[in-house]
Structure 1
Amino acid sequence: MSMSDFKLDGKVALITGGCQGLGLEFSRALANAGASVVVTSRDERKAQAAAEVIRQETGGDTLGLAADVTDFRQIQAVVDKTVGTFDRLDILINNAGVNVRKPILDYDEQSWDLVQTTNLKAPFLCAKAVVPQMIKQKFGRIINIASMLGTVALPERSAYCSSKGGLIQLTKVMALEWAEHNITANAVCPGPFATDINQAVINNPEANQFFLNHLPIKRWGKPEELTGLMIYLASDLSNFMTGSAIVIDGGWTSE
C-alpha cells in the first residue's frame, strides 16, 4: 500500500448538501484526492458558487446543480446530468440533513415530517437514483452521513435521533442488497463538530459546557478531522468494508 492508493483519480462523486458545513469539507477533500465533484443545493446559485470555489481551490472538475433531495424526479435529473457530463458516477455522499429541536409534546407533525423526509427518505431516494448506474459500472461507494445521535439520545431531538438511527439501519440493508455488485454502503456518525449550524450552541455558555462535559477530548471536532475517513471510504482501499457505522465523536459514546 502507498499513499497513491488513496487517490480518487477518474472517480466521480455526488455530494448532497455539499455547499456548506461538513458537506463542503467533504467536497473539497474528495476533489483534492482527484475526484470530479458534483454538489447539490436547493439554491442553484449557491450550488454553482460552491462548485466554482472547489474548482479554483483544487483544480478539479466540478458541477453545481440545484435539487430538492426529497423529490425523486429532481434527484434523477441530477444523476442524469452527472452521468451525461462525466460518463459515470462512483461515489454518493448522502450529506443533506436538517434538525428541529423541540420536546416531544411540543413537536408538530410538520417539523417531524421535515426531519424524517430530509434525513431518511432523501438518502433512500438518492440511492435508488444512483445505484442503477453503479450496478452498470460494477463499482460504487455509498456514504451516508448519520450521527452519533443515531446510537445515543439527547432531549428535544426525537425526530433527529430516530431519523439518524433509521439511516444507520438503512445503510446496513443497502450493504446487504448491493454487495454482489461491488457496491459498498457505510454510515459515518459524527459527534459535535464546529460548523456554522452549531455556532448558536457553541456561543451559548451553558449549552457549550454541557457538550464539553460529555467530550473526553474536551473540545468540539474540526470538520477537517472527518476527511481522512471520507477519502478512505470512497477509495479502493475500503473494498472489504461495508455495512459499518463509524462513530467519530471525541469519545462521547465511549462513556
Structure 2
Amino acid sequence: MSTPYSSVLDLFSLHGRRALITGGSKGLGRSIAIAFAQAGAEVVIVSRTLSECQAVAAAINSISDSKATALAADVTRTDDRDRLFHEAGTIDILVNSAGVNIRNPIETLDEKDWDAVLNVNLKSPFLLAQQFGPPMAARGWGRIVHLGSILSTISLAGRSPYASSKAGLLGLTRTLALEWATQGVTVNALCPGPFATEMNKPLLDNPEQYAAFISKIPMGRWGDLNEITGAALFLASPASSFMTGNALYIDGGWTAQ
C-alpha cells in the first residue's frame, strides 16, 4: 500500500534515511553524497583515503543540517568490508559508486589488470549488497543503486575489463531486484555517459579523444557532475518505489542512437 504524501516534493525526501556511498570522495560519488545530504539523509562517505572522505564530510556538514561521516575502506578487502559494515551503522541506501578503469587492448592486458577492475566494479558491489541488503529486507525498506555505465550495453575498444564489469553489474542489478522485490528493497542502476571525472582525465587531456567523444553525444557536450544527482535521488527516494531491476542512462543521448 502506498504512503500518502502532503507534497510531491516529499516523494524525493531522504529525511530519516542513512546512505552509504562508496567512491564518495570524488567525482560522481561525491556529487551524489552532497545531493543526498541536501535531501535530508545522513551520509556515510567511503573511499580508500580517509582525508578525502573527511573533506567531503566537512563540506557537507558546513552547508547541510544532515550529518556526514567519513570512513576509509578498500572495498576489495574482506576485512575492510566487514569493518565498514559494523562501523557504518544502519544503512537504508547503498550506492556502489567506487570504480576503476584500465584501458588497454587485449593483447597487452594483464590478468592482474582484469582482476583489479572486476574486483572493484563487480565483485565488491555484489559483496556489499550481500552484507547490507538483508538487513534492509528485514526492515522492509531499502535502496541499492549501482553505478553502471553506457558501457554496460555498448562498448569501446580497449575497455574489455571495464565493459565486462559494467555489463555484469546490470545482470546483478536485475537478479537482486527479483530476490528482494517483495521485501521493500529496490535495486537499480545509473548508467552515465562521459562525465568530467578524475577517471576520465586521460580522455579530457587528449584533444583528439575528447573531440571523438563529443562527436558521439547528440547533446554535443560532456555531462556536468551535478547532472547525475537528480537521477540518483530519484532511485534512492520513495519516488521510485515501483521501479526495480532497471537502469537509467544519463548520457546526453548517446545510447539513443
Deviation of 1:194 (Å) = 1.5
Q: Which moved more, 1:147-156 or 1:56-65?
A: 56-65
Q: Which residue of 2 aligns with 1:98?
A: 100
**Contact 1:72 1:129 (8 Å CA) reproduced:** no
What secondary structure is seen at the aligned counterpart in 2 of 1:220?
coil
**Contact 1:15 1:23 (8 Å CA) reproduced:** yes
**Contact 2:100 2:199 (8 Å CA) reproduced:** no
Deviation of 1:16 (Å) = 0.3
Deviation of 1:73 (Å) = 2.9
Q: Which residue of 1 aligns with 2:17?
A: 11
1:46-125 pair list within 5 angstroms = 46-83=52-89, 88-125=90-127
What's the C-alpha RMSD, in Å, of the aligned pairs?
Answer: 1.1
Amino acid at match of 1:215: I
Distance 1:21 1:29 in 2: 13
Q: Which residue of 2 aligns with 1:140?
A: 142
Gaps of 5+ in 2: 1-6
CA deviation vs aligned residue, 1:29-51 (integer Å, no higher than 9, x gap): 00000000001111222222221
Deviation of 1:79 (Å) = 2.1
**Contact 1:36 1:62 (8 Å CA) reproduced:** yes
Q: Which residue of 2 aligns with 1:187?
A: 189
**Contact 2:141 2:183 (8 Å CA) reproduced:** yes
Deviation of 1:3 (Å) = 1.3
Q: Which residue of 1 aligns with 2:35?
A: 29
1:203 to 202, 205, 220: 205
Distance 2:95 2:212 in 1: 30
**Contact 1:39 1:47 (8 Å CA) reproduced:** yes
Distance 2:29 2:146 in 1: 11
- Seq. identity, %: 46
Deviation of 1:141 (Å) = 0.1
Amino acid at match of 1:24: R
Number of corresponding residues = 251
Tell me the TM-score normalized by structure 1.
Answer: 0.95
Deviation of 1:188 (Å) = 0.6
2:163 to 161, 164, 168: 161
